[in-house]
C-alpha cells in the first residue's frame, strides 16, 4: 500500500497573532502628539500677530493725584535754575518721572551729587514725595528717577565721567548712587581683568 502524501491532512501551524500594526500605530501617535501641540501653539500665536498687546498695570485708584503737564513744566523750570545746570529733560512715561540733568563738563562727583540732591528737593517742593511717589495700601504711585551727569563719553571726553542717580520707587526709599564708581571695587577689578 502506497502512502499518498498529497492528500494527507496538513498540520496547522500554531503561530502567534501578529502585533506589528498595533506597535506602529502607537509609535505614530506618540510621535504625532508633540507635533500637534507645537502646531497648535504656532497657529494660535500667528492668529493675533497683527494686533498690539494692550494692557494697563494700574487700576482706577492708582496714580491719584495725577502729575499734570503744568507740574512737569514747573519741575523743569525749577531744576534749570539750579547753578551749574546746562540742560534739563523731564518726561513722564510708564508712571516714572525721569529727569536728566546735564551739568557743566568740569563738574566733579560732589557737584553732580549736590545738583541731584537739590533737584530732588525741588521736585519734593512741587510734587511732594509722600503724596506722588509713595505707594499706599490702596494704590500704586509714581517712581522718581533723577540723573545728574557732567558729560556723555565720546571722542572728546574719554575719562572723568560722573553720573549720579537718585531713585525713589513707589514702594521703596530714596537711593542715591554714583553710577560711574563700583560699589565693590575689588569685584569690579576681578571682572575687568
How does DSSP assign 28-83, residue by residue? HHHHHHHHHHHHHHHHHHHHTTTS-----S--TTSS-SPPPHHHHHHHHHHHHTST
Secondary structure, 3-state, 79-98: HHCCCCEEEEEEEEECCEEE
CA distance 140 to 157: 40
Task: Tell me: pLDDT of 109 over 60.
Answer: yes
pLDDT tens digits, one per residue of 3-60? 565 666 666 666 666 666 788 889 999 999 999 999 999 888 887 777 777 777 888 8
- Bridge partners (DSSP) of residue 103 are 85
Measure the CA angle with vertex 79, ends 91 and 61; round to 5°. 45
pLDDT tens digits, one per residue of 154-182? 777 778 889 999 999 988 899 999 998 88
The residue that leads in pLDDT, 16 or 145, is: 145
Task: Tell me: pLDDT of 81 over 90.
Answer: yes
Residue pair 170/135 in contact by the 8 Å Cβ criterion: yes
Task: Tell me: pLDDT of 61 over 90.
Answer: no
**C-alpha 189, offset from chain centre:** 28
Task: Tell me: pLDDT of 1 over 60.
Answer: no
**Which pLDDT does position 18 carry in this prediction?**
66
The residue that leads in pLDDT, 137 or 57, is: 137
Residue pair 142/67 in contact by the 8 Å Cβ criterion: yes
- CA torsion, ordered 57, 59, 62, 67, to nearest 10 deg: 70
**Which pLDDT does position 23 carry in this prediction?**
86
pLDDT, average across residues 128-135:
94
- Bridge partners (DSSP) of residue 165 are 147, 177
pLDDT, average across residues 111-117:
96
Contacts of 78 (CB under 8 A, 6+ apart): 122, 123, 125, 126
The residue that leads in pLDDT, 107 or 156, is: 107
Least confident among 49-58, 60-69, 94-103, 174-183? 49-58
Task: Tell me: pLDDT of 126 over 80.
Answer: yes
**Which pLDDT does position 25 carry in this prediction?**
87
How would you classify residue 155: left for phi > 0, otherwise alpha for psi between -120 and 50, otherwise beta? alpha
Q: Which fold has domain 69-185?
A: Alpha-Beta Plaits (3.30.70)
Task: Tell me: pLDDT of 128 over 80.
Answer: yes
Other CB atoms within a 10 A radius of the CB of residue 5 amount to: 6
Amino acid at each position: 500500500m502506497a502512502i499518498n502524501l498529497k492528500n494527507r491532512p496538513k498540520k496547522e501551524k500554531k503561530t502567534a497573532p501578529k502585533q506589528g500594526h498595533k506597535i506602529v500605530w502607537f509609535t505614530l501617535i506618540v510621535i504625532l502628539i508633540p507635533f500637534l501641540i507645537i502646531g497648535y501653539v504656532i497657529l494660535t500665536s500667528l492668529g493675533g500677530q497683527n494686533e498690539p498687546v494692550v494692557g494697563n498695570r494700574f487700576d482706577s485708584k492708582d496714580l491719584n493725584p495725577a502729575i499734570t503737564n503744568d507740574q512737569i513744566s514747573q519741575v523743569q523750570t525749577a531744576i534749570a535754575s539750579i547753578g551749574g545746570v546746562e540742560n534739563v529733560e523731564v518726561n513722564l512715561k510708564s508712571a516714572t518721572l525721569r529727569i536728566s540733568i546735564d551739568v557743566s563738563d568740569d563738574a566733579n562727583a560732589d557737584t553732580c551729587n549736590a545738583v541731584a540732591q537739590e533737584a530732588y528737593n525741588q521736585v519734593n517742593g512741587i510734587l511732594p514725595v509722600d503724596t506722588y511717589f509713595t505707594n499706599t495700601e490702596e494704590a500704586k504711585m509714581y517712581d522718581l528717577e533723577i540723573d545728574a551727569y557732567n558729560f556723555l563719553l565720546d571722542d572728546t571726553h574719554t575719562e572723568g565721567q560722573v553720573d549720579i542717580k537718585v531713585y525713589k520707587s513707589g514702594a521703596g526709599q530714596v537711593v542715591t548712587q554714583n553710577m560711574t564708581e563700583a560699589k565693590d571695587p575689588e569685584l569690579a577689578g576681578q571682572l575687568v581683568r
